[in-house]
Amino acid sequence: MGHSPTDTPPPVSSLALRRVGIDTYRENVAYLHRDCAIYRAEGFQALSKVEVRANGGHILATLNVVDDHSIVGCDELGLSEDAFARLQVPQGHPATVQQAEPPASMAALGRKLAGERLGRDDFHAIVSDIAQGHYSKIELTAFVVATHRDELDREEVCFLSEAMVATGRRLNWREPLVVDKHCIGGIPGNRTSMLVIPIVAAHGLLCPKTSSRAITSPAGTADTMEVLAQVELGIDRLQAIVHAHRGCLAWGGTAELSPADDVLISVERPLNIDSPGQMVASILSKKVAAGSTHLVLDIPVGPTAKVRTMVQAQRLRRLFEFVARFMGLTLDTVITDGRQPIGNGIGPVLEARDVMQVLWQDPRAPQDLRAKALQLAGRMIECDPRVRGGEGLGIARTLLDSGQALGRMLAIIDAQGSNSFDYRNPALGPLSFEVQAPAGGVVTGIDNLQVARIARLAGAPKIRSAGVDLLRKLGDPVRAGDVLYRVHSVYPADRAFARAACAQSSGYSVGEPGEIPAVSVEF
Amino acid sequence: MGHSPTDTPPPVSSLALRRVGIDTYRENVAYLHRDCAIYRAEGFQALSKVEVRANGGHILATLNVVDDHSIVGCDELGLSEDAFARLQVPQGHPATVQQAEPPASMAALGRKLAGERLGRDDFHAIVSDIAQGHYSKIELTAFVVATHRDELDREEVCFLSEAMVATGRRLNWREPLVVDKHCIGGIPGNRTSMLVIPIVAAHGLLCPKTSSRAITSPAGTADTMEVLAQVELGIDRLQAIVHAHRGCLAWGGTAELSPADDVLISVERPLNIDSPGQMVASILSKKVAAGSTHLVLDIPVGPTAKVRTMVQAQRLRRLFEFVARFMGLTLDTVITDGRQPIGNGIGPVLEARDVMQVLWQDPRAPQDLRAKALQLAGRMIECDPRVRGGEGLGIARTLLDSGQALGRMLAIIDAQGSNSFDYRNPALGPLSFEVQAPAGGVVTGIDNLQVARIARLAGAPKIRSAGVDLLRKLGDPVRAGDVLYRVHSVYPADRAFARAACAQSSGYSVGEPGEIPAVSVEF
């Protein structure tokens, strides 16, 4: 080599740090004025990646060029809310900016885009860069799309899951048995966790349940639980509640269990992408990070569920089992009937009503929700080595029917901070309309996707009292003009959107009893 | 259905339009204050898509939430530079914003993400939405990644190409024969167009060449031509020059030939993605839109070229031929030696020097560049029905050696607007260093990718006089300490980055003559 090793390092120049009050939603953005000498000298390109250093800290950010002095001046470096919060340096502090070497993992991303298989170190590098906010939205999307469908083999899913755990906080409950349940989603109204947790906690197993908010659905468990109680608990409070009551129903976001997953969701949501590998990694990494040792997994199968056939369900089950074994998690999979929504309500308030009806043994309580919750609770109770196989369901039923589960739920609600809610007279969205059967017969199909879409358009989950209230379920006889379901909104725009969707397709089929699809049990 | 058809439409509320001076680079972004009543009422989500209407026009934009009243107030709607320019309504004008129905093509994108094959209408819908700026960066990236590698079959590539032509301007030269050339890229220094066009124009064929700027390479033809002459010509001037001189060497961007392609490149560039289907659609759509009837296509093959093997080259050739036939374009493919850079200079000024040396028949002129340009020019001249097969090369050589090609080039430069350039003493980046042979032998390999990377780090193409000047080529004998190449920069940071890259790998291999890889001619 013909050059001296004592070459000067790349120069850096100082600007005054400025917080730019734009929420760029999990992307670090840096703003430089087009006339800034450094912008011109360094040959930055729009959307190129820059490294910002101040007070010993540094972040990577995507560069946006600004033409307005009121946003940043020529001697200022602006940072979006995300970037400013991450750098943790006060406004006005001197900061330097320079072209960033691409994040270390970019070569690995390139190999994945080219269709190659990645190794353990590659996934650790990518996930660590993602968790630290080093990826732009474009790079994140590329990773999500390049790893979706069948692009990840099962070892790669293990490495991804492991890396997601490694980059976040990990809870340690200091008990040998920590049980959890999870449903892969896609079934509206399926709020079994809010029944299962009080039952299993009442049995005495430790079940610190952390849930997500809805991503693309009309309600997540955290959204529905929030109708009843506070769910955004600090980690210390969460631990205190769990130690006192053997369970909780909290939002998982504050626990920072898998920060990379939260970032990935920010692009999966707008694309409505949910692939097997990503799903398994996302679910299992959060469970392991939450300190669970045993997991009961619910995979609903049905023509409009996430999993359409038993063959698919078995394939997904094997992937979950392979990765769970790698992660040291004991997994019990339950394949369930996903042909229609579970319970009657779809939307946070409506679902909270259903849950409380079951716990209070209200005669209007949806029996399918009750039965499914008992089934899953029974399987969880059988994680207890003192319980014999097949006894769990009976134990669960006793705990529910005796009111012990209700008592435990009320204690958990009280501990988390009760929000007043009267399940007998829930405040539903006042702008409502009904959808009626066009002809007589029996209900032969309920499209999970369409019913969920209608509930979302009606305003759920953001509008807690919005959603869909199902008055008929699969197999129920109907006459022409009978009300199939009622849609609740708060805002006229939401009602109009929901109505237009219902006009397109109600989501219901009515016909002969023989037309009801069977639950496939082919293996 | 149980509702009246005279339902109120979704309400819209008015805000004052404000231009927010942020260049979001081909993404429409709308800014709403977090405390804006409409933001809170409408239940917008971060990064959700909104529709902005003002003065009869409308655009779709991605929503960013703002916490700073100096950027947008609670009664204002901010638009990024791109969005503001597209809406074409003055500041302060009342505007409404509402949740946008997803762009019409979003369902088609979802099906592509799920791995389905798309039809003609799907591609027209997607490309039209992209060209109109309806896609967010996340959606664009998803489309690019979901259609890369082998995800598009050849009919889909036809539909994509056709849609790209349909959404842009299309030139009509009103002549039966309009010839063009194109190289798929990846070979540094490969500036044959700047020789081929004056030769072929001197022969009398119409060759209105529009070129791109570098996307991921150290120089595009437009960047290099700009060293000699203006390349950003309005469409009227371009047509006048072509009619006067039978050819031009202009930047294609102003012609708006394939606006969707320009948008797609904004995400392909940061990801360094270049897949067969996208490449074929991008190239052929621009040629057809530019009014070409005949195209000579250069596919270089080599261990560090885009195409690594003859099998790949033949596969790509067949895809180009299939799509060209569908588009009504006569295609002649030439598979060339892509084992090393063509010419000596890499970077706009260095490449312009090489081109002018060949045209002026300077003894220092790189012979490989001359030979390749003559080969391609000969093939283009054979598009002339009066020329017999095999005669083109001789005609091209005569036009070059007689000075007719030089004369035509000088006329074109003059017509486009000459930039003063002395090819004998080009002003090269003053911060230079040399890379020497570590041992004696012959040059057995030059890594196109590494040499291009070093030239980019040195500052090319943005810094016109930066780049790499190769003093040795494949097969040249060298002694230890001989200079292999010289790197030119203008800024110390660029020099330091380039030096670090050279220290990592010089890009050169030196060894025994037998180690030089053969040009594969296996079919």
- Chain A residue numbers with beta carbons less than 8 Å from the beta carbon of B142 are 141, 144-145, 271, 273
- State the catalytic residue, choosing from A274, A337, A362, A482: A274
B274 labelled catalytic: yes
pLDDT, tens digit, for every residue of B336-382?
A: 999 999 999 999 999 999 999 999 999 999 999 999 999 999 999 99
Amino acid sitting at position B474: L
Please give the sequence-ordered ranges of beta strands (E in DSSP) within B20-133, or none if there are none.
Answer: 22-23, 29-33, 49-54, 57-66, 76-79, 94-99
More confident call, B497 vs A408: A408
Distance, CA of A180 to CA of A285 (rounded, Å): 13
Smallest CA–CA distance, residue A141 to chain B, in Å, is 6
- Chain B residue numbers with beta carbons less than 8 Å from the beta carbon of A113 are 145, 148, 271, 273
Which positions ≥6 away from A151 have C-beta within 8 Å?
A: A112, A115, A275, A277
- Mean pLDDT calculated for residue range A417-429: 96
- Chain A residue numbers with beta carbons less than 8 Å from the beta carbon of B21 are 66-68, 71
Task: Tell if the CB–CB gap between B67 and A1 is shorter than 8 Å.
Answer: no
Chain length of chain A: 523
User: What is residue B2's predicted lDDT score, i.e. its pLDDT?
Assistant: 38
- State the catalytic residue, choosing from B75, B274, B337, B482: B274
Q: Which two tokens stand for residue B428?
A: 């090269």
- Mean pLDDT calculated for residue range A455-463: 92
Of A1, A115, A136, the CB nearest to B503: A1
Task: Tell if the CB–CB gap between A149 and B114 is shorter than 8 Å.
Answer: yes
Question: Do B347 and B218 form a contact (C-beta atoms < 8 A)?
Answer: yes
Mean pLDDT estimate for chain B: 91
Interface size, chain A vs chain B, as Cβ–Cβ contacts under 8 Å: 189
Task: Tell if the CB–CB gap between A148 and B434 is shorter than 8 Å.
Answer: no
Phi then psi for residue A174, to 5 deg, are 55, 35
User: What is residue B183's predicted lDDT score, i.e. its pLDDT?
Assistant: 96
Q: Hey, which residues does B96 pair with through a beta bridge?
A: B14, B53
- Residue closest to A182 by CA, chosen among A287, A99, A102: A287
Phi then psi for residue A32, to 5 deg, are -125, 140
Q: Which two tokens stand for residue B433?
A: 């260093």
Which of A322-326, A383-387, B16-20, B257-261 has the weakest average pLDDT? Answer: B257-261
| Distances B57 to B49, B82, B91 between C-alpha atoms, Å | 17, 15, 14
- Mean pLDDT calculated for residue range A491-513: 93
A303: preceding bond cis by omega (within 30 degrees):
no
pTM, two decimal places? 0.84
User: How far is C-alpha A459 from the chain's CA centre?
Assistant: 18
User: What is residue B11's predicted lDDT score, i.e. its pLDDT?
Assistant: 44
pLDDT, tens digit, for every residue of B3-31?
A: 433 344 444 468 999 999 998 877 889 99
User: What is residue B523's predicted lDDT score, i.e. its pLDDT?
Assistant: 37
Distance spanning both ends of chain A, measured CA to CA: 65
Of A23, A142, A436, the CB nearest to B271: A142
Confidence of residue A40 (pLDDT cuts 50, 70, 90): low
More confident call, A365 vs A258: A365
| Distances B521 to A16, A378, B314, B335, B337 between C-alpha atoms, Å | 60, 69, 11, 9, 10
pLDDT, tens digit, for every residue of A109-125?
A: 999 999 999 999 999 99
Q: Hey, which residues does A131 pair with through a beta bridge?
A: none
Task: Tell if the CB–CB gap between B41 and A491 is shorter than 8 Å.
Answer: yes
pLDDT, tens digit, for every residue of B55-106?
A: 999 999 988 889 989 899 989 999 999 899 999 999 999 998 887 877 889 9
Distance, CA of A427 to CA of A226 (rounded, Å): 14
Task: Tell if the CB–CB gap between B64 and A22 is shorter than 8 Å.
Answer: yes
Mean pLDDT estimate for chain A: 91
